[in-house]
Amino acid sequence: MWGIVGQRVFRHGSSAMSLQGTRPAILASRSFSSAAKEMTVRDALNSAIDEEMSADPKVFLMGEEVGEYQGAYKITKGLLEKYGPDRVLDTPITEAGFTGIGVGAAYHGLKPIIEFMTFNFSMQAIDHIINSAAKSNYMSAGQISVPIVFRGPNGAAAGVGAQHSQCYASWFASCPGLKVLAPYSSEDARGLMKAAIRDPDPVVFLENELLYGESFPVSAEVLDSSFSLPIGKAKIEREGKDVTITAFSKMVGYALKAAEILSKEGISAEVINLRSIRPLDRATINNSVRKTNRLVTVEEGFPQHGIGAEICASVVEDSFEYLDAAIERIAGADVPMPYAANLERLAVPQVEDIVRAAKRTCYRSSSLAATA
């Protein structure tokens, strides 16, 4: 099922510049281990946080239920036992308070990882993320840097209703001073989490609850404790030549499925896993569109002022003459998330929506009707 992804994982892993890699990739001896080990996204995140806490005593973890409960989604399992209550701190249910405390600790030089049980609750603390964290290095002309990571599940889960299902990628990604990452696979989760923790700037790390349990193959290089992925680089998960499909987080999986379906109909789709929402890898996206001449952007969040809107603008600005068709934008429905299962299904993008949109860009479908 993930065979293609497995190949990509190995190839990209070996050419990616590890930000602080000290061990040269010994490719020859590893060439047959590319798909051997599998790891869930949950374990990938846990191991990345564990390794970074082990490597740097300034790194600490703070959030609701991260310690004794082992993490609301078990991402921080075992860490309290290993590092003790001075470094793994259970907080009261007071996001504004503990986020501010985390940012203040970062001002002083510690490296906090602040968990939001979901990013819906980050709204209680968003002033600290934007005004206290993102802008400080600029306002102080470099005196006060904020090496903090804000992490947690983002976007829709299953049946959790309107207040627990919003995607905050575009809100955070519009703010200069923040870096915004969205992993898809376990390799992404490990590499981007390590990069985020090591990064001296504030990073918003958008996970996805439904991906936590999914397994992906990981190479030995990915498993190495010095592994990390560069921030600001997208990954071409599947190469193609007819249409570019951009996606992040869970939608990457959907895009890959759509690409499989499209390939059976003679359409070769190139799937780009954004990995980094801010900075956005405009170069990779534009190069791909210049090759395929068609673009479908996919995201789970609300359509207006979303990630797809930004990608459309970027491509129109940089690669207008290369477009052979209007850009298609697939997003969640412009409604608060409903609870009923059938309505919920209509409110989030499905694989068929992506397939239909890709076909429209290839003029294979005469219908220009809206997605659902």
321 vs 334, beta carbon nearer another protein? 321
Minimum CB separation of residue 352 from another protein in Å reads 34
Around 189, how many Cα atoms within 13 Å sit in the side-chain half-sphere?
Answer: 33
Catalytic residue among 38, 164, 239, 352: 164
Minimum CB separation of residue 136 from another protein in Å reads 8
234 vs 258, beta carbon nearer another protein? 234
81 vs 317, beta carbon nearer another protein? 317
Catalytic residue among 64, 95, 237, 270: 95
106 vs 206, beta carbon nearer another protein? 106
217 with 205: CB under 8 angstroms? Answer: no
Rg of the chain, C-alpha, whole Å? 20
Tell me the sheet residues that pair with 62: 89, 114
261 with 240: CB under 8 angstroms? Answer: no
171 vs 212, beta carbon nearer another protein? 171
DSSP annotation of 64 reads T
Minimum CB separation of residue 163 from another protein in Å reads 19
Residue 265 among the catalytic residues: no
Query: Residue written as tokens 């915004």?
Result: 180
44 vs 129, beta carbon nearer another protein? 129
279 with 203: CB under 8 angstroms? Answer: no
Angle at 168 between CA 163 and CA 173, to 5 degrees: 165
3 vs 92, beta carbon nearer another protein? 92
Phi-psi region of 273 (alpha: psi -120 to 50; beta: other; left: phi over 0): beta
Minimum CB separation of residue 313 from another protein in Å reads 9
Minimum CB separation of residue 224 from another protein in Å reads 22
Q: For residues 274 and 285, give the distance between their C-alpha atoms in angstroms, rounded to a whole number.
A: 9
Query: What long-range pairs does 2-8 form, CB within 8 A, spacing at least 24?
Result: 2/216, 2/217, 3/35, 4/237, 4/238, 4/256, 5/185, 5/216, 5/217, 5/237, 5/256, 6/34, 6/35, 6/217, 7/34, 7/35, 8/235, 8/236, 8/237, 8/238
Tell me the sheet residues that pair with 151: 115, 205
Residue 164 among the catalytic residues: yes
Minimum CB separation of residue 91 from another protein in Å reads 6
Instruction: Judge residue 233's burial from the number of C-beta atoms within 10 Å of its C-beta, 0-12 exposed, 13-18 middle, 19 or more buried.
Output: middle
Residue 236 burial (CB count, 10 A): 16
Edge-to-edge order in the sheet of strand 203-207: 88-90, 59-63, 111-115, 149-153, 203-207, 179-181, 276-278
Q: Which residues are near another protein by CB under 8 A?
A: 60, 86, 89, 91-92, 94, 96-110, 127-128, 131-132, 136-145, 147, 176-177, 179, 199-201, 231-232, 278-280, 317
Minimum CB separation of residue 41 from another protein in Å reads 26
Residues in the chain: 372
Tokens of 139: 């306002």
280 vs 327, beta carbon nearer another protein? 280
Minimum CB separation of residue 145 from another protein in Å reads 5
Catalytic residue ranges: 95, 164
